Amino acid sequence: MSVFPLSNTPSGTASRPLPYAVHPLDAPPEQKLFHAELGRMALTPRVKVALFILQGYLGIMVLLVGWRLIAGT
């Protein structure tokens, strides 16, 4: 089975029906899963380190952009 649907044939008839797609803005809203009794999600030490590194990287990038704006280059 092909990943891509077959397009219209030269005679103008479709070889098989194309899938129907609904744009997310046109779709009805979904029921979100929220349970107050679950509380906050526990982070593993590996995830905490990764988030800390990401926060540091973003901070350095903001400082570099600010430096370039102040320096005028």
Per-residue model confidence (pLDDT) at position 51:
97
Higher per-residue confidence, 55 vs 42: 55
pTM summary value: 0.48
Closest CA to 14 of 22, 5, 4, 27: 5
Mean pLDDT within 59-73: 92
SS3 52: helix
CA 44 to chain centre: 23
- Residues forming a β-bridge with 8: 14
Mean pLDDT in residue range 23-42? 82
Helix (H, G, I), strand (E, B) or coil at 14: strand
